[in-house]
Amino acid sequence: MTIVTGPAQGALTELKISQEGAKRFLVGLSWDPPELPGVKVKLADGPDDNAVSRVAHTLYAPFEFLRVFFLSFANLITFDMFAKRLRKGEDKAGRDKTSDAYDLDLCCYIFDADFLLKAVVETENDALFDPSRKVYHTGEDQGGMGGGDDEVVYVETTGLPHEYAHLFFVVKSDSKYDLSQFINPSVRLADSKTGDNNLQNKIAGPGKYNYVFCRVSRAGTGWQVQNIDTCVDEDIEWALVLPNLGRA
């Protein structure tokens, strides 16, 4: 992995966020979609500067229109078939090991001071908000076509339940592709008001499908962030694994 900005791996630093209003920060996940297939549509050159060429160009114009029309139509069909292949009819729990969708999911695991799991915020419709509704997810993005941050988790620290002491942010591949096969995957922790990054990492991981980004924890009246920056295995007990990473 590559740290774009922020503390070194394992290091703790103060979380810097605006102190007005909700004192909100965000974790944003982004990646680029694969290049879309298509049929090249090249327009014919214009006529030469002579009468014969202009007449020939005029006679050919209807055929040129039909050629461009059918090639453009073929492009639409190709794009539609490609887009359907990258969408899931049903997004089941766990990694979809057969899916062609370049789908990364952003999750937040919330623990109390004793590292007991209290809530999980993720892309499932019934898990987009924590019970307090102070931690919330923008929803699923299959393919990285959202532009900017494709998936975001917001945290309003004002009014956040006091028992919420540690928040871990995790990125998971929900497809047949491992983390190294995505295009420009990146995750950042930022002040929601200014957009300034406290931490930003590029994600990599040949043969890995889960990445633990960081931990945000209470520190007196403020918050600290720890750059965990670690890939972990599949089929793990997150409630047991994350606290050990956070205390490492």
145 and 114 share one domain:
yes
Q: What is the pLDDT of residue 163?
A: 97
- Measured distance CA(33)–CA(25) in Å, rounded: 26
Q: Which pLDDT band, with edges at 50, 70 and 90, does 209 fall under? A: very high
Dihedral sign for Cα atoms in the order 143, 148, 149, 154: negative
Separation of alpha carbons 156 and 23, rounded Å = 6
The two three-digit tokens of residue 53, written as one number? 């060429």
pLDDT at 25: 97
Signed CA dihedral, 87, 89, 94, 95: sign only: negative
Question: What percent of the chain lies above the pLDDT cut of 90?
Answer: 60
DSSP designation for 15: -
Token pair for 240? 């047991």
Please indicate, yes or no, whether residues 143 and 235 belong to a single structural domain of this protein: yes
Do 224 and 112 fall into the same domain? Answer: yes
Which pLDDT band, with edges at 50, 70 and 90, does 98 fall under? confident
> How many structural domains are present in the chain?
2
Question: pLDDT tens digits for 232-243?
Answer: 999 899 999 999
Residues 66 and 112 in one domain: no
CB neighbour burial string for 36-62, b if at least 16 within 10 angstroms, e if fewer? eeeeeeeeeeebeeeeeeeeeeeeeee
Q: What is the mean pLDDT of residues 23-52?
A: 70
Q: Record the tokens describing residue 156, joined without a space.
A: 């309003």
What confidence tier does 50 reach under pLDDT thresholds 50, 70, 90? low
By the 8 A CB rule, do 30 and 4 touch? no
Final residue before a domain boundary, out of 51, 85, 119:
85
Ranking 27-41, 106-120, 164-178 by mean pLDDT, the lowest is 27-41
Q: Please give the DSSP secondary-structure letter assigned to residue 8.
A: P
Are 203 and 114 part of one and the same domain?
yes
**Residue 86 confidence (pLDDT):** 53
Task: For the chain, state the CA radius of gyration.
Answer: 24
Domain check: are 52 and 30 in the same one? Answer: no
pLDDT tier for residue 90 given thresholds of 50, 70 and 90: low
Q: Per-residue confidence at 120, pLDDT binned at 50, 70, 90?
A: very high
Q: Are 191 and 165 found together in one domain?
A: yes
Looking at the structure, do residues 72 and 190 belong to the same domain, yes or no?
no
Q: In the numeric block, which tokens belong to residue 171?
A: 């990125």
Say if CB 201 and CB 186 are below 8 A apart: yes
Output 75 or 47, whichever has higher pLDDT.
47
In degrees and rounded to multiples of 5, residue 152 shows phi and psi of: -140, 140
pLDDT score at 78:
44
Nearest to 205 by CA among 174, 177, 165, 247: 177
pLDDT winner (highest mean) among 52-56, 75-79, 132-136: 132-136
CATH of the domain at 111: 2.60.60.30
Instruction: Based on the fold, state whether residues 66 and 123 are members of the same structural domain.
Output: no
94 domain-assigned: no
Answer with the residue of higher pLDDT: 36 or 195: 195
155 and 108 housed in the same domain: yes
Which range marks the domain in which residue 78 is found? 37-85
Task: Calculate mean pLDDT across residues 149-165.
Answer: 96
DSSP assignment letter at 163: T
Average pLDDT value for the chain: 82
Domain identity same for 128 and 196:
yes
Residues 240 and 164 both lie in one domain:
yes
- Are 178 and 244 within 8 A, CB to CB? no
